[in-house]
Amino acid sequence: MTSISSKKGRHDTPDNTADTPLPVVGIGASAGGLEALQTFFANLSPHTGFAFIVVTHQQPGHISLLPDLLKNFTDMPVLTAQDGMFLKRDHVFVCPPGKNLWPYSTAGYILWTVRNIILQICR
């Protein structure tokens, strides 16, 4: 696996075990939800012990500024989710435009992967 890191920690190693589960908070917002997300993170302790997943509606191919905007409202690292990245406590993971996040577990660890959105038309 390719090493994924940031200035505040590595993301290629798990942050939970069967003995210490990792609480995950999922937050969804529409395109107009930026202000609510900013207010939420500005009023949240950076030491909750939770991993935060932010999913918003953004068009595929769009270059998202959301991670950079949210960094101004929290002391937690804010990262764009990447394939194979482990969730970490006290981190914010933003789903990239045009992608879905799919959780799966390997050896007791929660791992997220990003896949292309597949549109299904039902008639």
Cβ atoms of 67 and 78 within 8 Å: the answer is yes
For 77, which DSSP code? -
Residue-wise pLDDT for 22-63, tens only, equals 888 999 998 789 999 999 999 999 999 999 999 888 877 788
Q: Which residues have a Cβ under 8 Å from the Cβ of 92 and sit 6 or more positions away?
A: 41, 52, 54, 67, 70, 74, 76, 77, 78, 79
Instruction: Provide the pLDDT for residue 88.
Output: 87
Q: What pTM was estimated for this model as a whole?
A: 0.76
Two tokens, residue 78: 């804010």
What is the length of the chain? 123
Residue-wise pLDDT for 70-108, tens only, equals 999 999 999 998 877 888 899 999 988 888 777 666 654
CATH code at 5-116: 3.40.50.180
10 DSSP β-pair partners: 5
Place of tokens 């696996």: 1
Domain boundaries, the chain: 5-116
Largest Cα–Cα distance of the chain, in whole Å?
48
